[in-house]
Amino acid sequence: MFSAFLFMATMVVTGIPTALLFIPWAWLTGNAWPLYRGTRFMLASSCRIAGVRIQTEGLQNVPRDRACIFMANHVSNLDPPALIAVIPGRTSAFMKRSLMKLPILGTGFRQGDFIAVDRSGSPADAQKSVAAAQQVLAKGFHMTTFVEGTRSPDGRMLPFKKGPFFLAMASGAPCIPVSIHGTEKIQGKGSLRMHPGIAHVVFHPPINPAAFHTREELMGAVRTAIASGLPEWMRR
């Protein structure tokens, strides 16, 4: 539990001044870059002080001249902090609508162009989320999504949700498959405990949605790429 305490304590110590300084700045100026950089510093510092080392591979595969859609597997609550802390440039992400309603945090998420999503499965809601994400990409910001839609209970890959692939086909933005492993040992699903360890984040070469005739073909290519960066037992 000590690592978890250090992680949360660092989040609070660095997060409060970040919120107090940069949320008003973003509101007054419309410039959320200082808020985003402060948030990345908070996430990276919290991981480091808790004994979590983020080891990246393949950063050279990420294009620097256009917005991309990062598509990652999901095995731990630690995945979003670890991934967002190392993505080059600025990224938005899909976020449960309930989190967007939290005091202060919700304001920061909205200023950072994070996209609220519902679990209702409504086609109309899904279309709104895709349209909002297309606007984010048009601004030159990345989108990050965990394509299984939820955390795997045992680390093995789950079926993918279709929403991110609707977005990819509609926008034409390059898809960057991302393999994450090691975080399932640092903090497992349903556990508050954390242990020091290495979070492995592998960025694969971009996949062009225009090269595929259907969403299913694109989904298969992304799944194969993500699986290639995972230990064998997680691919099943």
pLDDT at 198 over 80: yes
99's CB contacts (< 8 A; 6+ apart) are 105, 106, 109
Taking residues 115-131, report their average pLDDT: 79
Q: What is the mean pLDDT of the chain?
A: 93
Residue 223 pLDDT: 98
**How many Cα atoms are found within 13 Å in the side-chain-facing hemisphere of 114?**
24
Taking residues 190-214, report their average pLDDT: 94
Residue 102 pLDDT: 82
Residue 120 pLDDT: 64
State pLDDT tens for residues 12-49: 999 999 999 999 999 999 999 999 999 999 999 999 99
pLDDT at 100 over 80: yes
C-alpha 41/C-alpha 33 separation (Å) is 12
Report pTM.
0.94
Range 148-155, long-range pairs (CB < 8 A, 24+ positions) = 148/73, 148/74, 149/74, 150/74, 151/74, 151/75, 151/76, 151/77, 151/79, 151/189, 152/73, 152/74, 152/75, 152/184, 152/189, 153/189, 155/75, 155/181, 155/184, 155/233, 155/234
Residue 160 pLDDT: 96
Residue 121 pLDDT: 64
Residue 119 pLDDT: 67
CB contact at 8 A, 18 and 38: yes
Residue 117 pLDDT: 84
Taking residues 115-129, report their average pLDDT: 78
**Percent of residues, the chain, with pLDDT higher than 70:** 98
Domains in the chain (CATH in brackets) are: 52-235 (3.40.1130.10)
More confident residue, 150 or 225: 225
State pLDDT tens for residues 53-94: 999 999 999 999 999 999 999 999 999 999 999 999 999 998
